[in-house]
A = this chain, B = another copy of it.
Amino acid sequence: MNLPPLIQAFVLHFGEMGSRWGINRTVGQVYAVIFLANRPVCADDLVDAVGVARSNVAMALKELQSWELIRLKHVPGERRDYYGTLDDIWAIVRKLVEQRKRREIDPTLTVLRELLMQSPASEEERFAQERMQEMHGVIELVTGWYDDIERLETERLVQLLSLGSKIVKALDWKDKLFVAKGGGKPKGPERP
């Protein structure tokens, strides 16, 4: 491993965290190197930087491409494949959430839907299904919220996140105004 100290420290950390994040050490380290580089990176660079076998680097690159977290970037006059991360940090975050949802949540949602179709054959199963229903409801709510939010342009998204829970007060106030002005139902906004 052959990197400036500051970069090496970050790369080693990403390697260690890899297992917690559901990727392996090499994949973590390879991604870290690409993320921190100020230019596209090729397999040889990575062998050099991370210090593992070339075939291992190839596997890591394949894995990262399957996550759509890195992209092939052709360098003019170069035959080798060069890779870079997505353009901006928010694109990376969105992709990460999308992929983890796809891998960690969607399969469960599918199973839940299947099992909720069946009729319980005992009180035990009836109760279990009730719990599954609760879980299904929460997942639908949270992922539905994200699907919606995720479409916002980044600037809006950042605004929203910066507000935090202050947004609730803002909404209260809006509701009050709305009611005061003599509008319809007191709860929930409706389309005009």
Contacts and interface: CB of A to CB of B under 8 A. Distances in A.
- A contacts with B: majority SS: helix
Contacts of A127: 36-38
Contact of A38 (B89, B124, B169): B124
Contact of A125 (B7, B115, B145): B7
A1 interface: no
Nearest to A88: B134
A111 B125 CA distance: 47
A156 B168 contact: yes
Interface residues of A, number: 71
A43 B128 CA distance: 19
Interface of A: 4-7, 9-10, 13, 17, 19-22, 35-38, 89-90, 93, 103-104, 107-108, 111-112, 114-115, 118, 120-125, 127-129, 131-132, 134-135, 137-138, 141-142, 144-145, 147-149, 151-152, 156, 158, 160-171, 173-174, 177, 188-189
